[in-house]
Structure 1
Amino acid sequence: MAVLLQRPRAAVACLLLYYLTGGLAVPDPRQREALIQLEASMQTGGQMVLTDAEQRLDALLFKMKQEEMARADFPPAMHFFKAKDLIRTGPIFNLLQKMPKGGALHVHDLSMVDVEWLVKNVTYRPHCYMCFTDNQSIRFIFSSRWPKALPRCSPWTLLENLRAKMSNTTDLDNTITGNMTLFTDQDPEMVYPSQDVVWDRFEQAFLAVWGLVTYAPVFRDYYYQGLTEFYTDNIMYLELRALLPEIYELDGSTHDTAWTLKTYQDVTRQFTADHPDFFGARIIFTNSRGVNASVMARVVEEAMKLRRDFPDIMAGFDLVGREDRGRPLWYFREALSLPVERGVTLPFFFHAGETDLEGTDVDQNLLDALLLNTSRIGHGFALLRHPVAKELSRKRGVALEVCPISNQVLKLVTDMRNHPAAALMSENHPVVISSDDPAMFGASGLSYDFYEAFVGFGGIRSRLGSLKELAMNSIRYSSLTSKQQEKALALWQRRWDKFVYENAF
């Protein structure tokens, strides 16, 4: 048995050869148990050796999971909007919140902060104007004078004047909140009957947030608040996908992308100084996959310059936007080849395979991402349909950034038990868990997504070792240097040991 656990692939080959060449006439219980143990050893965390304290916590967690899976209203089988309260009030989620989860490697800039903070904090600031669009969304701007009218939008309203006329501002605040998140108390399947509907609403919510977050004083506070929310959820490191937009001041003047990246750097340093056990954050510069090839070439040029000027904070580059409607990676191959041609290091972290459109040009993004030497794959939902890409990513150690709740809300999967990552985790394919756009989904940090992965993907066999390996993966597959990873893992291990001791006894 020890040999089987130490060398799972060799053991599988031996056992298969044995059965293919005759096997036993009568099934042998010992061989059956060996196969079961072998299969368990191959999953994420399956070969993790647990300490006595970890084994005790593992037993407690296993009991919790057995009780959770026996429930009639099993949360991973439900839409997250319906399951959120069931998850939040359960003992597994309570434990996951306390657990040091390492890093969040796939989070977007305009959806990292709880929408309630934006409404209660930002929209109550002076000089905040709002208008209603003709497609039932909203827009904001801060201005020292009356702003110029926007096309397809109502006249601007100064919010402090509007609220001053109201005896109760709750309904207005609720309307604003509803426009900046997909979360709904109604039946989400009725509200969002198709991918087109939910993606349109998703994009409108980003546009609603845009005018608030890109105002310079808010931008600084927003990012610091985002780091605070992830830190509170026991995240010690963050890699943020950021558009690096022009940030504007009250008089309408704007700052360029270098200013925006430097502000990220300054706020990160301040937050780390305020929280010495937070390891830091890095930025993955992003651009829309809807632009043409010449625009992309200019953006890649800019990315190379930013990487040169800000090597500590600038991790790399990615394309964002709805993959099914955007241009495929192959269309941009010349622009994306510029760094190699120039001898410049610009790591890529491509979104790829966030689709269920099998056989289309977009569906080839997984292979093209690997051809372009991506460091990680964002989502990779379609990977099981691409055996070559799957094997290449395994051999190269290219991890998938799996975002369970995002994939469900954006209608790629209904029941988390059927998520492709369940199969990938069963064979310990490189995987990290992240949250994509938590504020848009009514989530926060990583705990909700860890719950869906642990209880939904992992099933009853996923144990404490799985959680431990997923947390460690988030550091191993980060953009940090080897020395930084070693230091971060040491810091994480101290926090992990404390967490195990406090919850095992």
Structure 2
Amino acid sequence: MEVELQRPPVAAGCMPLLLLPLLLCSVTRVLPFPDPSQREALMHQENSMQVGGRVLMSEAEQRLDARLRRLKEEEAARAVFLPAMHFFKARPLIRKSPVYNLLQKMPKGGVLHVHDFSMVAVEWLVSNVTYRPHCYICFTDDHSLRFLFSAGTPKDLPRCSTWALLETLRAKAGNSTQLDHSIMANLTLFTGEDPEAAYPSQDAVWSRFEQAFLVAWGLVTHAPVFRDYYHTGLAQFYADNIMYVEVRALLPETYELDGSTHDRAWTLKTYRDVTARFVAQNPDFFGARVIFTVHRGANAAQMAEAVEEAMKLQSAFPEIMAGFDLVGREDRGRSLWYFREALSLPAERGVTLPYYFHAGETDLQGTEVDLNLLDALIFNTSRIGHGFALLRHPVAKELSRKRGVAVEVCPISNQVLKLVADLRNHPAATLMLEGHPLVVSSDDPAMFGTSGLSYDFYEAFVGLGGLSSNLGSLKELAMNSIRYSSLAPELREKAFALWQRHWDAFVAEQNP
């Protein structure tokens, strides 16, 4: 694959010329005083380049934009700038923010990067699911938990205590609050204690992160819970003014009380049916699609088998299945290039299987996985998950911009998983200023003590965007979530029309 990237020649000592011919460099001419018009022109040029910089705003939108800017300036003038704080500390303060409250009401379009086992707030899992009959619990020797629904006492697991019926434990405890809090703490990374002390390194936070998914597994993969869980996830996003969802889903086998199991086709069919039911109940919710995911710890043969199955599922369920991706910690997993034979199968068969690769979720440079960004583009990924390392790969950055391959920015996830501490230093701050294709996503909201998308929009708008971003930026980010979705063009147009109606109503409500 040949990539041709040309830049205009630049004279020594001169700045590159972009859009304006008026600044002609000269090594001999020195202006006695800077020309204010040139300064204004440069400022206009920069402002027009950023995300939302060319969005035309109505009078009502301009009034709302002026109000929003005042609110953001007040946020920036605080003694402590919230996006510079660890999210776990900042969350209660963000909740009180007028900017956040406005963003909650804003129609945000779709969420394009969220994982199946972290869609739903853990409070629901504990208060609803763990109180259902036949729920068993065991305690592992590394101080974690496992759950299983069963008609009788299950067989013991290795390195785990004997299974106990949860309702019996609660009855013995009398007051189950402490037990419930302990269960909840095992299902999320969120902590009211000092998060930097609790998670001193990436290894520490990722270990706890992956452990929490194992805790949730036995709860969510119980077939009746799985249906309710997904429906509740859609409801929580809908409550946060989200109209469309794309879920990264492992498509696990689900099980019944008698131990019988359902295959991936059943799981995908359940996603389809529950989505249809939710849309019927909420006609202004546009729908949802699934991106089938496989852990990058698989070997080459397992990945080939997964891609084969993905092609079959894509053919059988084209309306619900959007494509394929790899998940898991990038720094510890195998690279995309390692799986090149498996990932080449669809093209060799003449089959269309869209890819939506996680790539660049790393702060390491020069490693094999650091090349995942280039390899994702070689395999024609439709979007890039995270793309945190994109600034270190200028060819990949330029190629993704030219191709319109959007980066799924997940600011809270990147901060909690210790890629960046102060979100003003997030690489996406530069991408926003350059007008790179971006969408804002929440990745694993339940793990981070959030739900929906408003917290991530706050961090993106206030932290990544600074005072430069405005209502036009928010509008374009929301529109991008439809523009870069997996929806077919005709469905995308319908989604745009639905979103526009909600947007116009939102602007009108904010201008009484």
Secondary structure in structure 2 of the residue aligned to 1:134: coil
- The equivalent position to 1:448 in structure 2, one of 442, 448, 455, is 455
Quickly say closer, same or farther: Cα 1:168–1:189, change in 2 above 3 A.
Answer: same
CA distance in 2, matches of 1:357, 1:106: 22
Which residue of 2 is the match for residue 310 of structure 1? 317
For residue 19 of structure 1, report the CA deviation from its aligned partner: 5.9
- The equivalent position to 2:474 in structure 1, one of 457, 467, 471, is 467
CA distance in 1, matches of 2:26, 2:39: 12
CA distance in 2, matches of 1:128, 1:236: 33
Which amino acid in structure 1 is aligned with residue 61 of structure 2?
E
CA distance in 1, matches of 2:298, 2:52: 41
Which residue of 2 is the match for residue 288 of structure 1? 295
For residue 167 of structure 1, report the CA deviation from its aligned partner: 2.1
Does residue 280 of structure 2 align to residue 273 of structure 1?
A: yes
Secondary structure in structure 1 of the residue aligned to 2:294: strand
Does residue 485 of structure 2 align to residue 478 of structure 1?
A: yes
CA distance in 2, matches of 1:19, 1:244: 62
After TM superposition, the structure 1 = structure 2 runs for residues 6-155 of structure 1, keeping only pairs within 5 Å, are 12-18=19-25, 22=29, 24-155=31-162
Quickly say closer, same or farther: Cα 1:342–1:20, change in 2 above 3 A.
Answer: farther
For residue 33 of structure 1, report the CA deviation from its aligned partner: 1.3
Quickly say closer, same or farther: Cα 1:19–1:40, change in 2 above 3 A.
Answer: farther
For residue 17 of structure 1, report the CA deviation from its aligned partner: 3.6
- The equivalent position to 2:394 in structure 1, one of 387, 391, 394, is 387
Deviations 1:218-238 (A, max 9, x none): 000000000000000000000
Which residue of 2 is the match for residue 330 of structure 1? 337
Deviations 1:395-431 (A, max 9, x none): 0000000000000000000000000000000010000
Which residue of 1 is the match for residue 11 of structure 2? none
After TM superposition, the structure 1 = structure 2 runs for residues 172-211 of structure 1, keeping only pairs within 5 Å, are 172-211=179-218
Deviations 1:244-286 (A, max 9, x none): 0000000000000000000000000000000000000000000
Which amino acid in structure 1 is aligned with residue 151 of structure 2?
S
CA distance in 2, matches of 1:451, 1:37: 25
Secondary structure in structure 1 of the residue aligned to 2:451: coil
For structure 2, which runs of at least 5 residues remain unmatched after alignment?
Answer: 1-15
Aligned partners of 2:276 and 2:287 also within 8 Å: yes
CA distance in 2, matches of 1:242, 1:478: 16
Which residue of 2 is the match for residue 217 of structure 1? 224
For residue 165 of structure 1, report the CA deviation from its aligned partner: 1.5
Secondary structure in structure 1 of the residue aligned to 2:193: coil
Aligned partners of 2:324 and 2:356 also within 8 Å: yes
CA distance in 2, matches of 1:219, 1:292: 28
- The equivalent position to 1:370 in structure 2, one of 377, 380, 384, is 377
CA distance in 2, matches of 1:112, 1:367: 29
Which residue of 1 is the match for residue 305 of structure 2? 298
Which residue of 2 is the match for residue 5 of structure 1? none
Aligned partners of 2:23 and 2:38 also within 8 Å: no
CA distance in 2, matches of 1:424, 1:18: 27
Which amino acid in structure 2 is aligned with residue 461 of structure 1?
S
How many aligned residue pairs are there? 497
Deviations 1:43-72 (A, max 9, x none): 100111100000010011000000000001
Which residue of 2 is the match for residue 158 of structure 1? 165
CA distance in 1, matches of 2:91, 2:45: 35
Q: TM-score scaled by structure 2?
A: 0.96
Quickly say closer, same or farther: Cα 1:21–1:160, change in 2 above 3 A.
Answer: farther
Q: TM-score scaled by structure 1?
A: 0.97
CA distance in 2, matches of 1:345, 1:49: 37
CA distance in 2, matches of 1:75, 1:63: 17
Secondary structure in structure 1 of the residue aligned to 2:245: strand
Which residue of 2 is the match for residue 4 of structure 1? none
Secondary structure in structure 1 of the residue aligned to 2:510: helix
Greater displacement, 39-48 / 115-124? 39-48
CA distance in 1, matches of 2:30, 2:383: 41
Deviations 1:55-104 (A, max 9, x none): 01001100000000000121101000000011011100100000000000
Does residue 499 of structure 2 align to residue 499 of structure 1?
A: no
Which amino acid in structure 2 is aligned with residue 476 of structure 1?
R
Deviations 1:307-343 (A, max 9, x none): 0000000000000000000000000001000000000
CA distance in 2, matches of 1:179, 1:334: 38
Does residue 356 of structure 2 align to residue 349 of structure 1?
A: yes
CA distance in 1, matches of 2:245, 2:289: 6
CA distance in 1, matches of 2:29, 2:154: 81
For residue 164 of structure 1, report the CA deviation from its aligned partner: 1.2
Which amino acid in structure 2 is aligned with residue 48 of structure 1?
V
Which residue of 1 is the match for residue 442 of structure 2? 435
Secondary structure in structure 2 of the residue aligned to 1:162: helix
- The equivalent position to 1:258 in structure 2, one of 248, 265, 281, is 265
For residue 25 of structure 1, report the CA deviation from its aligned partner: 3.7
Q: Percent identity over the alignment?
A: 73
For structure 1, which runs of at least 5 residues remain unmatched after alignment?
Answer: 1-8
CA distance in 2, matches of 1:418, 1:20: 34
Secondary structure in structure 2 of the residue aligned to 1:165: helix
Deviations 1:366-403 (A, max 9, x none): 00000000000000000000000000000000000000
CA distance in 2, matches of 1:84, 1:327: 34
CA distance in 2, matches of 1:222, 1:253: 20
- The equivalent position to 2:422 in structure 1, one of 407, 415, 419, is 415
Deviations 1:109-150 (A, max 9, x none): 000000000000000000000011111110000000100101
Quickly say closer, same or farther: Cα 1:252–1:35, change in 2 above 3 A.
Answer: same
